[in-house]
A and B are shown apart, each in its own frame.
Chain A
């Protein structure tokens, strides 16, 4: 979810979003991605619009202002957890020495 919100700071449609995530090592299948995008939109964290591109109608998603706030909070939480885990691993590594 964090990765999806972060990637949608730039407007993208589902397929390119999936490719972007995949290129960054985050494989997510379409069966998970599209329901997630719908839930995030229902929660007001994303905004979407149908637009024609390359002769095909596509739904483009973009992080909403509320989504940007939630993303900042989630990132802060994630960094805090990451720091805690690092601390635990560091203490264990010292204990083993």
Chain B
């Protein structure tokens, strides 16, 4: 019978103070009644194993006690889907920059000469990657506390009951292209086209009267390619303005244009196009170091540019898949 007392003691620990003795007395009476009935059936005292089986069948003490406690939850079923959604957004907000920083570090680290100390920017990125995790945990904790408070406020005021269907957002069409966006895209591409044609067409670039930048012949390839891309993008934006819905052809052209732009930009990072920088009033010996330093500095950004390019191309591919699956589901 000692086992029954131990069981009751374990249940008692979890019970609310005011009801402890009352519940335990009733539970004790119930268990003893069951034991006595079984003993009467068998005509003998129960063995320890048989008592153990009876207690085990009743369940773990904490679960038994839990049935007598009021049902409580930190975040209830009403707010939980919203909480989960906000948590996913928060994780993405921190995870994407963390992934970008981490991949940049990984690619850059592979290009460092052995035995040389890591540059300052590399160490800064490593620190940022570490901080992003702790910030993500703090954000998740803050969200949990916020929703726990909201849960309590909702339980008292029922503020979520006050709603009207009129305030629901309009039906979304993921394939619709906002005309405002297309207009801005068209304007930006036309301005860029004009600016690029005027200021970037030469291998000799002047910044004010005192700075002269000399570029090698590869720059002209880059110049013409980007000029053509600006024209293509402006044409695509105009077409989207006329027909404001994504089609597979539109999305494929956008993919080609973005892939070409990203590829060219990555190539420029590594191309060492800068041949000389001349600054009025600065000795030629000193300015001679500028071009190699800038070329080397630009090359270190290659991994970051590559990742950004891949993300853009990935988003374009996802758009094509989305358009095609939407078309398939419509035809099905």
Q: What is A's interface to B at a CB cutoff of 8 Å?
A: 13-15, 18, 29-32, 34-35, 38, 50, 56-59
One of B32, B63, B68 near A34 (C-beta < 8 A): B68
Check if B26 sits within 8 Å of A31, measured CB to CB: no
Q: Is there contact, CB below 8 Å, between B25 and A38?
A: no
| Minimum distance in angstroms from A85 CB to a CB of chain B | 28
Partner of B68, one of A38, A58, A59: A38
A35 in complex: contacting residue of B33, B34, B59, B68, CB < 8 Å:
B68
A58 touches B29 (CB 8 A): yes
User: Does B172 have its Cβ within 8 Å of any Cβ on chain A?
Assistant: no
Contacts of B30 in A (CB 8 A): 14-15, 18, 30, 34
Please give the distance in Å from A68's CB to the nearest CB on chain B.
23
At the interface, is chain A mostly helix, strand, loop or mixed? helix
* Contacts A/B (CB < 8 Å), 27 sampled: A13-B29, A14-B26, A14-B30, A15-B29, A15-B33, A15-B34, A18-B30, A29-B58, A30-B27, A30-B30, A30-B58, A31-B58, A31-B59, A31-B67, A34-B26, A34-B30, A34-B67, A34-B68, A35-B68, A38-B68, A56-B29, A56-B33, A57-B25, A58-B29, A58-B33, A59-B25, A59-B26
What is B's interface to A at a CB cutoff of 8 Å? 19, 23, 25-27, 29-30, 32-34, 58-59, 63-64, 67-68
- Kindly identify which residue among B29, B59, B64, B67 contacts A57, using a CB–CB cutoff of 8 Å: B29
Q: Which residues of B contact A31 (CB under 8 A)?
A: 58-59, 63-64, 67
CB of B64 to closest CB in A, whole Å: 6
* Cβ–Cβ contact A14 & B29, under 8 A: yes
Alpha-carbon gap, A38 to B19, bound state (A): 10
Minimum distance in angstroms from A63 CB to a CB of chain B: 18
In the bound complex, how far is the Cα of B64 from the Cα of A35, in angstroms? 10
| B-chain residues with CB within 8 Å of residue A15 when the two chains form the complex | 29-30, 33-34
A75 to B19, CA, bound (A): 32
Q: Whole-angstrom distance between the alpha carbons of A14 and B25 in the complex?
A: 12
Cβ of A59: which chain B residues have Cβ within 8 Å of it? 25-26, 29
> Cα distance A82–B18 when bound, in Å?
41
- For residue A18, which residues in chain B have a CB less than 8 angstroms away from its CB? 30
Q: How far is the CA of A59 from the CA of B27 in the complex (A)?
A: 10
Q: How far is the CB of B236 from chain A (nearest CB, A)?
A: 59
A50 neighbours in B (Cβ, 8 Å): 25
The interface residues of chain B lying within 8 Å CB-to-CB of A34 are 23, 26-27, 30, 67-68
| A15→B26 CA distance, assembly (Å) | 10
Contacts of B59 in A (CB 8 A): 31
Q: How far is the CA of A18 from the CA of B34 in the complex (A)?
A: 11
Instruction: Tell me which residues across on chain A come within 8 A of B32, comparing CB atoms.
Output: 56
CB distance from A47 to the nearest CB of B (A): 15
* Distance between A4 CB and nearest chain B CB, rounded to angstroms: 15
Contact of B67 among A14, A32, A58 (CB under 8 A): A32
Provide the residues of chain A in CB contact with B33, threshold 8 Å. 15, 56, 58
Q: In this complex, which of B33, B59, B64 has the most chain A Cβ atoms within 10 angstroms of its Cβ?
A: B33
Q: In the bound complex, what is the Cα–Cα distance between A30 and B25 (angstroms)?
A: 14
Cα distance, A29 to B67, chains bound together (Å): 11
Q: How far is the CB of A15 from chain B (nearest CB, A)?
A: 4
When distances are taken between beta carbons in the complex, the residues of chain A under 8 Å from B19 are 38
Shortest beta-carbon distance from A48 to chain B in Å: 9
Can you name the residue of chain B whose Cβ is closest to the Cβ of A34?
B26
Which residues from A are CB-within-8-Å of B63? Answer: 31
Q: A31 to B26, alpha carbons, bound, how many Å?
A: 12
CA distance A5 to B33 in the complex (A): 22
Residues of A within 8 A of B68 (CB): 34-35, 38
* A30: chain B residues within 8 A (beta carbon): 27, 30, 58
Residues of B with C-beta under 8 A to A13: 29
CB distance from A7 to the nearest CB of B (A): 16
